[in-house]
Every structure is written in structure tokens, then in C-alpha cells.
Amino acid sequence: MMQPLESNEIIQPSPFKQYPTEHLYCYTDTVCEQEFEIRKLDIEQHLDLFHRWHNQPYVYKFWELNQSKSELRKYLERLTKQAYIEPCIGYINQTPCAYFEIYWAFFDRIAPFCDATLYDRGYHLLIGEKQYLGRHNTTLWLKLVNDFIFKGEPKTKRIVGEPRADNKGLLKYLSQTGFVKTKEFDFPHKRAALIECHRDRFYRDFTL
């Protein structure tokens, strides 16, 4: 069950909502000589991309959001009104290619399955441009989002996730970027794997 809040604990909205700029995080990879950047999603700017990405079979097999553009606009509008979640777009060399939903786990549906505490975080990830799929880019994106989350809030000690238990490809990448699968559980729409990445282990095992 979820941990009760201390009486003097004040819940703040996600700090992502308070950022004055769309540019949230940037990293230059010296191996592939590419610039990776995380920006806030802008519905008007990114809706066409979001619609195209989600209507690709390799994406909707797991996301199940192969919907019309108007339906996806409503989906994003609902997200942007939530204080605990921030939809983001990942860029490589100024080209948008990935999508992230970064959230506070305490307020998310995952909370009762992971005994979420107030500063636990989580995220969903997809790479929408096929030319950027592959081990190096995928594992690097996972490491970068972990780094972004941990550096954004020093009190965050754990990142959790709930990918589909049969998404073997993603689970393999996650295991190579600091995540450990702790159990499986059932949502109404899927069998999920609970994954966890702890701050101390992540920075012990990985250097950016």
C-alpha cells in the first residue's frame, strides 16, 4: 500500500510544469557524436509526429494508442493538465525521434503495486523513428532519462516502471541500464512487469 504522508510534507506539482523553457536536458554522446535532447512536448508542434508514431505496428503493439489525430490530441490535452506527469519529446541532432511520459509514481496507477513513496518517479518510453532504433540509442536514452530524473530531484531515490511483461526487447534494454525486474502483476489491460532503478546503483554502475 502507499506510504502515508507526513503531516508537515507539502505536495508540490511536478517541477517540470514550472520550467520556463521547453529545453529540459541535453547530452552530447562522444561515441556516436550525436546530441541527445529532452524537450517539453508541444501539442501543436508535435501532434502530427505523435499520431504517426503511435500508428506504427511496432509501437501500437505495446502502447495500444493507434487512434485518430483528434483522439490523440484529447489524450495529450488530458496529460498536460495533470500536475504529476510531463509528456516530453526526445531529439537526436535536432530531429524529434522519441517520446517520454515522466511521472511521479505516488500519484500514478502503479503506486499500490510498488509501495510508492512521495519522491519515486517513473516513465514510459517509445522511439518513434525507426532509423534511431537499436541497442546504442535505446540504452543511451534510458540512461539519460534516469540521469535527468535523478538530477532533477535529489530526493528521488528510485525510478519504477510497468512495461508489458511480454515486451522482452524492452526488458532486456532495461536490465542493461540499471533496472531490475522485481515481480509481475496484473492491470486490467495487461500483465505488467514491475521494474526498479535505484539512484545509488545507477551511479555506481554507469558514468555519463
Q: Residue 181's closest CA among 121, 82, 114, 102?
A: 114
Q: Quick one: cell of 138?
A: 535505446
Task: Give the helix/strand (H/E) hosting 90.
Answer: strand 85-92
Q: Is 64 a catalytic residue?
A: no
Give the whole-angstrom CA distance, residue 168 versus residue 180.
Answer: 13
- Burial per residue of 161-188, b for 16 or more beta-carbon CB atoms within 10 angstroms, e otherwise: bbbbbebeebbebbeebbbeeeeebeee
Q: Closest by alpha carbon to 207, among 143, 135, 138, 141?
A: 143
Cell digits for 114? 510498488
Catalytic residue among 9, 22, 86, 162: 162
Give the CA angle between residues 179, 159, 165 to the nearest 5°. 55
Residues assigned a catalytic role: 162
